[in-house]
Amino acid sequence: MNPRSVDTPRALPLEGVRVLEFTHMVMGPTCGMILADLGAEVIKIEPPGGDKTRKLPGLGIGFFRSFNRNKKSVVLDITTEEGRATATELAGACDVVLENFRPGLMASFGLDYASLSARFPKLIYVSHKGFLPGPYENRLALDEVVQMMGGLSYMTGPKGRPLRAGTSVNDIMGGMFGAIGVLAALRERERTGRGQEVQSALFENCVFLSAQHMQQYSMTGEPPPPMPSRVSAWSVYDVFTLAGGEQLFIGAVSDKQFLTLCRVLERPDLAEDPTLANNALRVAVRPALLQRLGDILQQHRVNELAPKLEAAGIPYAPIMRPEQLLDDPHLRASGGLVPMTTDDGGTTDVVLLPLTMGGQRPGVRSPLPAVGEHTEAVLSEWLGRP
């Protein structure tokens, strides 16, 4: 397979849509990447020297590669009058502008929605923020901040120990909601001929993730406990430690599945125990049942038990680490991991959007852009500059 691209013979749905992206980190770049994967021409505006996200260490080292494929890079210094004038011209030549900088920054440059839409009324402008308009709107936010504020960390960690999710869930989903807003605004513009401002925010995104627990309280009057302390609706729905210290999640969420699990484990005594005859009875003695199952499962190895569970139709999952997913057979066979040429000329495998359209995954069409790689070409094509 050519590492520079994945064949996409069919026309992509957003071909012909032009997007100007003023973003960094994760949230805004995710929105731009989704639009680019779906066929839009996305121009990423970078400052002289490049987006600082390119050089993040530690947990941020993979951000730029993960969320900036299929884009073109143009370097502009929008802190200068000339840079701002060029950025404004580019905005007038496009359909959508994306930004995710701190409140007030784009307005200080005259590149906010109010300034640009006055000149370009058909423009769709997407602001990715910490908070939607309201008392919190001028606060700075991070994924971790809103996970704490939005109930997610409380529900994830054990009691008294709020724990953030292990990835940038709100940044990524906030970018997704920004892209959804773009699609809706493009559709509305077809009817009205006018653009609009779309806002997507980390805090509201996190509250949306917590909505089911908010409704649980509204319906029962009882505060939902953190997930590690929850009262499970099912008797067998847990992580077990098997032989050699390997771990496996097993879920038997019906009476039929419980009996099937007993058969797989060759334990008819559990299947015939009258105190375990249905899910309600099993939930009532859940701690003791899990202890019994834990003792049994310590005699089994994951590589031997997993195929039996799969054949029997029992939900199960090994506890995978991110680096192991690079060799996941399903991701490989289904085309969910594909090679991409990086900005330094190397190659890396990247995760595609989790969807198919017409049986195809939107793929990688171009290498990860080097800093300013497309400046001359874009200014020539879009603005007619020599």
Question: For the residues of 140-170, what is the DSSP string, one character each?
Answer: ---HHHHHHHTSHHHHHSPTT-----SS-HH
46 sits in the region (left: phi over 0; alpha: psi -120 to 50; else beta) called beta
Q: Which long-range contacts (CB under 8 A, 24 or more apart) does 208-211 make?
A: 209/150, 209/151, 209/152, 209/169, 209/170, 209/173, 210/150, 210/151, 210/152, 210/155
Residue 9 or 161, more confident: 161
> 125 - beta bridge partners?
97, 197
Residues involved in catalysis: 171
**What is the predicted pLDDT for the residue at 325?**
97
* Widest CA span in the chain: 84
Q: What pTM value is reported for the model?
A: 0.94
Amino acid at 192: T
Residue 4 pLDDT > 80: no
> What is the C-alpha R_g of the chain?
25
Mean pLDDT, rounded, of the chain = 95
In the predicted model, is pLDDT for residue 219 greater than 80? yes
Task: Summarize the confidence of residues 54-65 as an average pLDDT.
Answer: 97
Q: How far is it, in rounded angstroms, from Cα 362 to Cα 354?
A: 9
CATH of 18-210+326-383, one of 3.40.50.10540, 3.40.930.10, 3.40.449.10, 3.40.30.10: 3.40.50.10540
Percentage of the chain surpassing pLDDT 90?
A: 95
**Please, are residues 204 and 131 in contact by the beta-carbon 8 Å criterion?**
yes
Spatial CA neighbour of 200 closest among 20, 23, 19, 18: 23
**pLDDT confidence tier of residue 386, bands split at 50, 70 and 90:** confident
pLDDT band at residue 16 under the 50/70/90 scheme:
very high
Q: Confidence band (pLDDT; 50, 70, 90) for 9?
A: low
Considering only the top CATH level, what class is 232-321? alpha beta
Strands 96-99 and 124-129: parallel
pLDDT of residue 231: 77
SS3 367: coil
Mean pLDDT of 281-310: 96
DSSP state letter for 48? T
Q: Is the pLDDT of residue 252 over 80?
A: yes
Categorize the per-residue pLDDT at 230 as very low, low, confident or very high, splitting at 50, 70 and 90: confident
N-terminal to C-terminal alpha carbon distance within the chain: 37
In the predicted model, is pLDDT for residue 8 greater than 50?
A: no
Is the pLDDT assigned to residue 1 strictly greater than 70? no
Least confident of 1-5, 12-16, 64-68, 311-315: 1-5
pLDDT reported for residue 6: 45
Domain range summary for the chain, segments of one domain joined by + = 18-210+326-383, 232-321
Side chain identity at residue 69, one-letter code: R
Q: What residues are paired with 201 via a beta bridge?
A: 129
